[in-house]
Structure 1
Amino acid sequence: MAVQNFIFGRYYDMSDPAQKKAFEEAGAHKDKCTHVVGTAAKWITEILLDEGVPLQKL
């Protein structure tokens, strides 16, 4: 809930079809969710590198 409140200024209940539609129309998966996930990935990578966790090639 906190992420939605911060990004959208409100919480969307994904179990309610009307609210889920409004969430999508607000741009949820166009740019907002991708930005949040990208930022989280950057932070965890920085933490792992700072902690000396070795990176593995896939």
Structure 2
Amino acid sequence: MQRFGELRKLIPDINQMILINHLYELKNCRTVKCTVCPIMPPHGSFQATQHSQLN
């Protein structure tokens, strides 16, 4: 499971909006699962799904 900030550090040359758009696309394709933690401030964690591992 990776948080958004951790993903940005792994891909340093990516624009923040591009990364957000790609993560939402992957989420809509069920390739990535987003889990939002109900703490203050709220944050989301991203994880590859079984669907992504089959392709």
Q: TM-score, normalised on structure 1?
A: 0.28
- The structure that has the greater radius of gyration is 1
Structure having the higher helix fraction is 1
RCO comparison, higher one (Cα < 8 Å, 6+)? 2
* Structure number with higher strand proportion: 2
